[in-house]
Amino acid sequence: MIGIIGAMDLEIVRLKEQMTDKKEEQLSGVHFTKGKLFGKDAVLAVCGIGKTFAALCAQTLILRYNPEIVINVGVAGTLCDRLSIGDMAIGTAAVCHDMDTSPLGDPVGLISGLDMVEIPLNAQMRETFEECCEEEGIHYVSGVIASGDQFIDDGSKKQWIRDTFCAIACEMEGQAIAQVCYVNRKPCAILRSISDSANGTAADYMQFKELAAEHSSRVLARFLKIE
């Protein structure tokens, strides 16, 4: 079973259209669709916006469906010059940019209890996603993905996240999903396409979120066909 989580309907709707033998289920307020995607058993979930909903969804998905792998797919803001609208950011690790116990002497972003800042993501899936991007002719960069409960749209905040965590893209769910998977020992991947520049151009997001969601769905579909 492959678990696939998008924050918003638009991030998984294209995959859902291609799913057969669909069975819908509502659990913990999350809508799950189980079925076959390109011949493989898969479950799609729309978790909602932000880290709390994302964690709730990931844990419920793991307990209910016991997937072998979990993939977070969707859109993100860019933090680096090498990633433009429609390009893919593939996660090597995930950080939480709004976790901060530094007044106590901890590094910014430390996940107390796990005692790490970067939650590692599955390297094998990352490499396969990189190959899929190449085959689809979509430019990609692999690196750290930063999550937090904020839509980043400010140059100084963007720069702070990039400089503090060496992160390439920002979004609002990936790290929470990665943290839940890490605790549950489930391999996790984050695949995000760039919808906006995270710098005073929120209008970009409204204009390009569909294009970005289409790109990330296309790369994931290719992955599912070969994996």
Q: What is the binding site for ligand SAH (CB under 6 A)?
A: 7-8, 49, 75-77, 151-153, 170-173, 195-196, 198, 205
Among the listed residues 11, 87, 153, 173, the single catalytic one is: 11
Q: Which residue, judged by CB position, is nearest to ligand SAH in the bound state?
A: 77
**By C-alpha distance, which of 17, 19, 2 is closest to 214?**
17
Q: Indicate the residue among 38 and 92 with the shorter CB distance to ligand SAH.
A: 92
Burial class (CB in 10 A: 0-12, 13-18, 19+), 80: middle
Measured between alpha carbons, how far is 222 from 155 in angstroms, rounded to an integer?
34
Q: Indicate the residue among 122 and 197 with the shorter CB distance to ligand SAH.
A: 197
- The amino acid at 60: T
Q: How far is the CB of 151 from ligand SAH (least distance, A)?
A: 4
Among the listed residues 87, 118, 153, 196, the single catalytic one is: 196
Q: How far is the CB of 153 from ligand SAH (least distance, A)?
A: 6
Annotation marks residue 11 as catalytic: yes
Annotation marks residue 153 as catalytic: no
Specify whether the backbone of 104 is left (phi greater than 0), alpha (psi in -120 to 50) or beta: alpha
Q: How far is the CB of 205 from ligand SAH (least distance, A)?
A: 5
Measured between alpha carbons, how far is 72 from 84 in angstroms, rounded to an integer?
20
Give the catalytic positions in this structure: 11, 196
